[in-house]
A and B are shown apart, each in its own frame.
Chain A
Amino acid sequence: MAERLAFTAKISLGLAMSGIIYAMFLVVPQYVGLGEAGRIIIVHVPTAWVTSAAFALSAVFSIVYLRTRSALHDASAVAAAEIGTLFCIFATVTGSIFAEVVWGTFWNWDPRETSILVLLLVYAAYFALRSSVDDIARKRRLAAVYNIFACVTMPFLLFVAPRVADSTLHPNCAFLQGSKCEGISLDLNGAKIGQLGDVVVELKSVETTGELTQARVEVRMPGLTQNAELTPSLDASGKPADRPEFPGQSFRMVLIEANPQAGTVRVNMQAPGTGLLSNQRTLWVFLASNLTFGFLALWLYRIRATILHVSALVETQEAH
């Protein structure tokens, strides 16, 4: 009975995966501004989620290991970390490709890019530690401690570090709190320099001429020899009018608020693709994809954990 169930589950997982790939190319509509590249979202976002979930799972198993000292729990922590690493690489690569095509840059030090890179480094360090301790029990113990310790620093990365929390190119800020979507405030008489992603912006002036309220913002960014000046503006009703493109990139600067009397503005960066999921067909494919990737990760985890459990048992058996 259980075998049949497992078999059915495996088959349906395969079918679901094929379905997702089919839908990704043929069902999801093109999104204006993203073109074909937008389809990558369907695999990119679920892999990123699986990565975080696997990392959390691994930390939980590490805590359990320290309580029980059972080799099996350690093996589970390793299996989760391995699956996490695999999906972490997927997420990073698909994300970079998407960023290059759509935003015009492979790497932008956006909050989520930073955190996934750190996650990759933590995983690498975790495995490096495991390979450099000879005694088996000690190896398991130290690796578990490191895993838990690393987990404690994660919230600081996601929620606190001000540089990374100011702005993001990623759509759907609501998925991850802490990456504020409100942009940054600049003040002519105070903090007139700020940062959007890895672009340094400096407010030069803000004034109203006729219908338009226009801000002059100097932009300094990596790879740009001369400072550029952008002039985003608001129309009379307070809606963004002019949204100039960042030089050499395909994302734009948008003026959200401006107060010419006080000399303050709020600006943000805007990438094509915001609002992608408001399309019903895309939304459903996206949700199905999350579910399928979740199950795929779970299945891979089961396989890997079983192998590691057996080898952990063999390790103990050999000594007897």
Chain B
Amino acid sequence: MNLRRLWTVARLELVQRRRTSRWPIVLGAWFVVIALVTFASWRAVRGESFASGPSLYDVTTFFVLMLGMLVVPSLTATTVNGDREHGVLATLQTTLVTSWELVLGKLLASWVVSMVFLATALPFLAWAWVAGGLSVGRILLSLLVLVVVLAVVAAVGLMFSTLTARPVASAVLTYLTLAALVFGSLIGFLLTAVLLTDTVTVRVNGVPESYWASEIEPPVTSEPGAEGFVLQPTQADCEEFTRTEQASRTDRIWPLLAVNPFVVVADAAPSRLAETGTFTGGFTPMRWISDGSRDAKAGPGEGGVRDECSFLPEAGSPVGDSATTDAAFEAREKAQDAADRARRDANPVWPWGLAFLGALGLTSVVVAERRVRTPVRRLPSGTRIA
């Protein structure tokens, strides 16, 4: 591996792209579209009682990811078989440039281009940061993950361009692969979530069946009270018991969500519901996706003892005292939120997803390198050497 030769390949690619495409127009269009989307989401959420930063950030980041996944394959998916068609691949293969330098140089070139696109989107991410509710660490982490994901997309496109003879075929295959990762994985998850249900046992702290069974026959001798025979269990009636339910075993199929690039980017650094301080609500798709996929990974069985008791009135309190009930309810909600947060923090999805995408990218590069290695022994039908 020689960095100068690698850079020679990358620079050759970049110079050709710069001269043969209308990059200023493409970049300008990209800038305008992101500006419009960011402005629209800012209009939608501004003026409410919470920080609008997360909404702006989520929308912009997802939009950059989406456009990146559309643009990057068009850079790499035609690079090797396009060169073969023009009869210029062999020109480099017969020099001292090795197959690794060729593949990594081309990958570097497309990665540099995707960085330019990302840099164009940076002002809007900065705007989101100024709007508040975001930490710099979070922005950096999600940008880093975004960069890696775009590099993986580039690698997949590069691999297909070495596998097929025609640039159109490799572009289509790359887009199909990305569609499978983005939409196919989600559809697969939803379908199997419906199909793959199981009987699970949950531990509950609440009013047991036996309470209702014993009270089913109201005592006939006593006078009806002022409220009639309304059964009102109190906290004194609670006990711990187990209950069996039908539940979807999402803890077995969560990897289907983890492979989705949008889930990986969203889950790497979502805006958490702030424990204190400003409420960062509003339209936050990244947080929703993150929470949803982490809950799916946790599955139905986990979460300790389910609390169905603390919102009941305390023993001996007057029936219908809404003040105590509301307070209890609020306390229970808070405890539930804390439990959710703890469970979600314990079940991150993105490291697995990023590891998968990384493995996919590495495999793609290895396959691509094998396919441009010369001299070739077996020539696949339909492909040219020079």
Do A and B come together as binding partners?
no
